[in-house]
Amino acid sequence: MILTIILITTNNKDMKNTYIHETHTIWANNGEVYLQTENDTIVFNARNLLQDLEPILYLTIKEVNKENKDLKDRLKETIKTL
C-alpha cells in the first residue's frame, strides 16, 4: 500500500476543531469505535477508522519524533551553558 497524505490549508473560520488532550475511555459496539474525552464522545465507523489508521499513525509518529528532537536540541543547548 502506498501512503498518500494530502495537506490542506484552509482559512474557513466556520470550521470547528475539537482538541483532545487525553482519552478517558475507549470502547466499541455495533461497528463503531467510541473515544470518550472529558467533554465529548467521538464516534468512528470502525471500518473507516481502520482504513485511516496508517496515515494517523504516520502523522502521529512524525510529530512525536519532531517534539523529541526539539527537546533533545534544547537539552543539549542547556548543557552547553552549564
Look at the block and give the residue holding cell 471500518: 47
Model confidence over 39-70: pLDDT tens digits?
A: 889 999 999 999 999 999 999 999 999 999 99
CA distance 10 to 56: 20
pLDDT band at residue 20 under the 50/70/90 scheme: confident
Average pLDDT over residues 18-33: 92
pLDDT at 30: 97
Kindly state the helix (H) or strand (E) to which residue 41 belongs, with its residue range.
strand 41-45
Look at the block and give the residue holding cell 466499541: 28
Percent of the chain with pLDDT over 70: 84
